[in-house]
Structure 1
Amino acid sequence: MGYLHLPGLGKAHFHEYGTGQKPLLAFHGYGMTGKQFHVLEQSIIPQYHIYGFDHFFHGESRLDGWTEQQILTGMPKTMVRNYMEEWFKLYGRQRFSVMGYSIGANIALILVEEYADLIDVVILMAPDGLAVFKGFHFILHNKLGRGIFRTATKSKWLAPFLIKSLKKLRFIDESLYTIAYNEIDTEQKRLDTYYTLNLIRLLKPDVKHIAQQINQHKIKCLLIFGKHDQLFPKSAAMPFLGMLDNAEVHEVELGHWLVTKALDEYLVK
């Protein structure tokens, strides 16, 4: 494990694991840490040396001197380059691969956008960033939605009420309800959720350009979706998939909670 000292941002903590030699930078989903991909012990871990990064407000990554207003404005997309430039300072400029699950896919995709000529493989699991998710867009970019999000963060009862209402109206299923509820049941968790989603609100990949870069540099792509995922389903990603020349796409009998032993066993087969 170690840290990248990202100029103007803070310390990004990463975990190192895997028995392969090829470097792979990995970005986890909400509420997890960079160790999340440990579970892929038969499929991914034997192939790569993984650098699994903790998102800010997760694990041991820490922003340096950011005010609340800066966090709510959002991290500029250009700062994603700092991850690679600082990593290169430690390990030398070399070819690498990227992996992202859920919200972590935004950073992985932006690295493809910026460093396509150096990337061998892109692995995306239930990825955010390939299409606009209306729920996130509402609470992060709509004035009314941002107000509701802030109020729910400060309230002990409103956030649980909203989550239960979404489940009752079938906007989310039982698995998403469980994930969401476990992340808003304390004031600190609600605040971490609020800060996390606002910090990354500007990290929107240019999917058309990324698809062009993937095709031009013949980057190997593996995309995995949960058949029962109501958050980032395959259907929402179809325009992006249609732009790729030769992607390997899987839809498995899982929901959004995708990085599991069941997925590991599926990938091995």
Structure 2
Amino acid sequence: MHIKGVILNIAVMGFLDIPGLGRAHYHQYGTGSKPLLAFHGYGMTGRQFHVLEKSVLTAYHVYGFDHFFHGESKLGDWTGQQIIEGMPKPMVKAYMEEWFKQYGRQRFSVMGYSIGANVALILVEEYADLIDDMILMAPDGLSVYKGFQFLTYQPIGKYLFKRVTKSKWLAPALLKNLKKVNFIDESLYHIAYNEIDTEQKRQDVYYTLNLIRLLKPDTTKIAQLINRYHIKCRLIFGRHDNLFPMKAAMPFIDKLPHAEVHEVDMGHWLVTKQLDEYLVNLQQ
């Protein structure tokens, strides 16, 4: 099906007005013709995947969405309490329905990195019969990450998370200790540190993780759908990733006999030129 508004080498932007949720901003780029809806990691924007120019962007036309509290996406008239309660999972389907209104109901693919993988997985859960490919990098959502669970569900964790958000020194101290015990690597430490150096940024962290806390993919159902509809899967993990390592995702991977799984010699920070070269070399 023809995709309206494709501009091959020049990134363009657009918005989806999602009833009851807000205005989702997206970036378009890539020289391929296959539509690919992409969801970035924390602290980035929908342009994050532009570095995969030799591998992914030659095959796909990317629609890279900014998460709320990132880029130009704007949550609607939600109160702080509504944000903390979380975005209902069915609202993910509203993304797709609004996209269909703009571009027509058609086949598409999905891609997600880190926390963005949750949205990509839920789209597979809802639209498996229309999806060609799924690409996940250092994905959240394939297993329960106890750190996020503690911060957004457990009373003591919720209390501490809120305290850290308000404090100028607690958040940096916490990050330093996480790096000290090798829970996060040096590159992830610097990225995270740059996201907590102001009160506004710390509040955005707090709101982002609470907003998405209900977006939990049903991995058993998703695996069944992937096998039933023969969705091509590429799963990429960092060998030195302590946030979302491959071993935690093995129960899901074991359900996918035809998945293409890679563990690369990198940490959590995967969406780089180095990964682009790795993927290109796979094709040769």
Question: Structure 1 length normalisation: TM-score?
Answer: 0.99
Q: CA deviation at 1:176?
A: 2.5
Structure 1 runs (4+) greater than 4 angstroms displaced: none
The aligned counterpart of 2:42 is 30
Q: CA deviation at 1:194?
A: 0.6
| 1:1-269 paired onto structure 2 within 5 Å | 1-269=13-281
Q: Secondary structure at the match of 1:243?
A: coil
Unpaired runs of 5+ residues, structure 2, are: 1-12
> Letter of the aligned partner of 1:214 in structure 2?
I
Unpaired runs of 5+ residues, structure 1, are: none
Q: CA deviation at 1:165?
A: 1.6
Q: CA deviation at 1:10?
A: 0.3
Aligned length: 269
Q: CA deviation at 1:170?
A: 2.9
> Letter of the aligned partner of 1:178 in structure 2?
H
CA displacement, residues 144-196 of structure 1 (integer Å, 9 cap, x when unaligned):
00100000000111111111122223332222222221211111110111111
CA distance in 2, matches of 1:176, 1:202: 25
CA displacement, residues 108-150 of structure 1 (integer Å, 9 cap, x when unaligned):
0000000000000000000000001111111011110010000
CA distance in 2, matches of 1:57, 1:268: 33
Q: Secondary structure at the match of 1:151?
A: helix
Q: Which moved more, 1:161-170 or 1:201-210?
A: 161-170
> Letter of the aligned partner of 1:115 in structure 2?
Y
Q: CA deviation at 1:212?
A: 0.2
> Letter of the aligned partner of 2:178 in structure 1?
L
Q: Secondary structure at the match of 1:37?
A: helix
CA distance in 2, matches of 1:187, 1:91: 39
CA distance in 1, matches of 2:229, 2:196: 42
Q: Secondary structure at the match of 1:25?
A: strand
CA distance in 2, matches of 1:192, 1:105: 19
CA distance in 2, matches of 1:142, 1:218: 38
Q: CA deviation at 1:245?
A: 2.2
Q: Retained in 1: the 8 A contact 2:20–2:76? A: yes
> Letter of the aligned partner of 1:94 in structure 2?
Q
Q: Retained in 1: the 8 A contact 2:28–2:62? A: yes
CA distance in 2, matches of 1:160, 1:42: 37
Q: CA deviation at 1:107?
A: 0.1
CA distance in 1, matches of 2:116, 2:183: 22
Q: Secondary structure at the match of 1:228?
A: coil
CA distance in 2, matches of 1:177, 1:13: 27
